[in-house]
């Protein structure tokens, strides 16, 4: 507010978007989903609450996102989720305490998991993956472990092994070919990985299930 005037800044999220986010952050967002059923306007912060400098900086970043060129859309998504996270965290301070919400970071680690499970044949390095989702390697490692309870490459390993059992049971492809399809250049590497996961070789697994 300046000289008796003020700026109105709106961020509008559609109901489907909020419901999708609520699946990952039920404690923070389910209240909004319930309120969709009420046919009235609802204020979640006291009237006249002023935005502090950090929140104002986020507003400015959203306004200036077009300056990011090809990265504008991803940058805008991140800034909007950061803004929403901050507003939710502050609105809940006067109520019962919740774990702080970081919607933007959560979306990044989910995007990272999607990349690893779709590019499992030739996965990016951890550094490249972090750049792809818009964060740094250290943050990605810790946030991924917190969100999913496993490391990035454990997630990749488990996904490959799950596909391995599917291919071994549903096809008659040679073991070496199954390994190649999963990103293992050498059959011996695939067999070693499979044994580490299941305690038997791919051949033993296939023969045992079909016996």
What would the pLDDT profile of 73-130 be if each residue is shown by its tens digit? 766 777 777 777 777 776 665 444 445 567 778 888 988 999 999 999 999 999 999 9
* Mean pLDDT of all residues belonging to the chain: 81
pLDDT at 126: 93
The single residue listed with the structure tokens 């550094």 is 127
Please tell me the predicted confidence (pLDDT) of residue 31. Answer: 76
Where is mean pLDDT largest: 29-33, 41-45, 60-64, 177-181? 177-181
Residue 132 scores a pLDDT above 70: yes
Q: How far apart are CA 29 and CA 124, in angstroms?
A: 33
Q: How confident is the model at residue 178 (pLDDT cuts 50, 70, 90)?
A: very high
Buried b (16+ CB within 10 A) or exposed e, 108-147: bbebbbebbbeebeebeebeebbebbbbeeeebbebbeeb
Q: Is the dihedral of CA 66, 118, 85, 17 positive or negative?
A: positive
Please state which of the ranges 85-94, 99-108, 173-182, 188-197 shows the lowest mean pLDDT. Answer: 85-94
Task: List, in sequence order, every residue forming a beta bridge with 5; answer none if it has no partner.
Answer: 2
Q: How many CB atoms lie within 10 A of CB 184?
A: 20
Residue ranges per structural domain of the chain: 1-101, 154-210
CA angle 116, 125, 186 (to 5 degrees): 80
- Segment 140-165 mean pLDDT: 94
Average pLDDT of span 3-14: 70
**How many CA atoms are closer than 13 Å to the CA of 57, on its beta-carbon side?**
5
CA angle 187-167-190, nearest 5°?
A: 20
Which pLDDT score is estimated for 186?
Answer: 94
Which residue(s) pair with 2 in the sheet? Answer: 5
As a whole number, mean pLDDT of residues 39-53 equals: 69
Higher-confidence residue of 196 and 8: namely 196
- What are phi and psi for residue 45, nearest 5 degrees? -130, 155
Q: What is the pLDDT of residue 138?
A: 92
pLDDT range class, residue 1, cuts 50, 70, 90: very low
Q: Does domain 154-210 have CATH number 1.10.10.60?
A: yes
Alpha helices in 70-136 (DSSP H): 72-91, 103-118, 126-133
């Amino acid at each position: 507010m300046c000289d008796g005037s003020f700026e109105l800044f709106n961020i509008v999220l559609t109901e489907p978007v909020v419901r999708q986010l609520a699946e990952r952050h039920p404690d923070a967002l389910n209240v909004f989903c319930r309120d969709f059923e009420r046919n009235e306007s609802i204020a979640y912060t006291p009237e006249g609450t002023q935005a502090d400098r950090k929140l104002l900086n986020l507003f400015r970043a959203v306004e200036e996102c077009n300056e990011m060129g090809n990265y504008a859309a991803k940058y805008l998504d991140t800034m909007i989720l950061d803004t929403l996270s901050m507003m939710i965290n502050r609105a809940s301070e006067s109520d019962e305490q919740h774990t702080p919400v970081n919607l933007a970071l959560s979306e990044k680690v989910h995007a990272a998991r999607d990349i690893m499970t779709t590019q499992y044949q030739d996965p990016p390095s951890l550094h490249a993956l972090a750049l792809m989702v818009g964060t740094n390697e250290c943050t990605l490692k810790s946030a991924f472990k917190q969100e999913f309870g496993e490391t990035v490459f454990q997630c990749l390993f488990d996904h490959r092994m799950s596909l391995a059992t599917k291919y071994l049971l549903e096809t008659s492809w040679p073991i070496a070919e199954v390994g190649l399809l999963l990103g293992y250049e050498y059959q011996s590497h695939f067999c070693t990985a499979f044994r580490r996961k299941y305690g038997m070789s791919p051949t033993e697994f296939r023969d045992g299930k079909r016996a």
